[in-house]
Structure 1
Amino acid sequence: MSILTFGINVTLDGCIDHTQGIADDELHDYWTRVMEQSGAMLFGRTTYELMEGFWPAVARDEKAPRAMRDWAQKLDAKAKYVVSSTRSDFPWQNTVKVEGDLREAISALKAKTAQGVLVGAPKLAAALEEWGLIDEYRIVLHPIISGHGPTLFQGLPTPRQLELLSTQRFKSGVQALHFRRKAG
């Protein structure tokens, strides 16, 4: 079975508000490389709609910054799966609604996607984490204290032990951390 990786940008205080952070070329290039290593993207409806409302236009905008456009074009072409109980129409190309029992559907998606699946939806990731379905974590830590907003894994009933696989420091001071779930 392939791996499910949760990837997210967070501030030093754990805020996951998408408006907080340093969105420069180096960050976009990093996420493009991470996405390229995965066979599919997985989103909850809210995150999907944020992406759908912005990135397809950037993919077609010849004046968009190179790193943003590269990310957008590769995201546009990538297989995208969406978990939603309120929406069934997903016109963005290569988008499929996840159907049936969520735990079984995500396990099946992992099994059929040899390159692995990258999930970028915090609420969805919290549910997947409770079931032990997340194998790796790509947490990009921004040197910002937000002081507000939702944080990662609020309400998780038990702690998780992770193994640090690698770190990468960007010129902006952003740190990319790559973790794997510890065995046991």
Structure 2
Amino acid sequence: MVFSRTLNSVAGNARLATDDLATEVGRLRRQPGEGVVSLGGAGLAAIAEDLIDEYRQFVNPIILGNGTPYFPPLAQPLDLRLTESRILSSRVVYLRYQRMR
């Protein structure tokens, strides 16, 4: 599934999303399989729709001074539990968090 504001078509095994994120993810969750994995940035961090069960972050610290916030403002804090962490290099750390419901 490819979410894009600029593409009209995709190739290979991919399918271009035609509905909003919440509708498309709901459709994917109803299909058989292990789950849905999202690779993307701030535009796909759909916390407001309560779609994300697990967060996997690769932290590669670079000080830019500005940028797009990864998470939108929330009315209530989101409780997460760290389930895995790994040091991948002298700069990059992998963190895996699960939602506490």
Report the TM range for the smaller structure's normalisation: 0.7 to 0.9
* Preserved CA contact (<8 Å) 2:60 2:91: yes
Distance in 1 of aligned mates of 2:91 and 2:7: 38
Question: Which gives a bigger RCO, structure 1 or 2 (Cα 8 Å, sep 6+)?
Answer: 1
Distance 2:20 2:89 in 1: 43
Contact 2:47 2:72 in 1 (8 A): no
Q: Distance in 1 between matches of 2:26 and 2:6?
A: 22
Equivalences, count = 100
Q: Give the residue type in structure 2 aligned to 1:95.
A: A
Is the 2:61–2:92 Cα contact (8 Å) retained in structure 1? yes
- Distance across 1 between alignment mates of 2:71 and 2:8: 27
- Aligned mate of 2:3, from 77, 83, 86: 83
1:99 corresponds in structure 2 to: 18
Q: Secondary structure at the match of 1:82?
A: coil
Q: 1:101 to 1:139 in 2, by over 3 A?
A: closer
Tell me if 1:153 matches 2:71. yes
What are the within-5 Å matches in structure 2 for residues 12-31 of structure 1?
Answer: none
| Aligned equivalent of 1:108 | 27
Instruction: Work out which of the residue numbers 115, 123, 147 in structure 1 matches 2:43.
Output: 123
The runs of 5 or more residues in structure 2 that have no matched partner are: none
Q: Which has the higher strand share?
A: 1
Q: Residue 174 of structure 1: which of 88, 92, 98 is its match? A: 92
Taking only the aligned residue pairs, the percentage that are identical comes to 31
Where do 4+ consecutive residues of structure 1 move more than 6 Å? none
- TM-score normalised by the chain length of structure 1: 0.48
TM-score, length of structure 2 as denominator length: 0.81
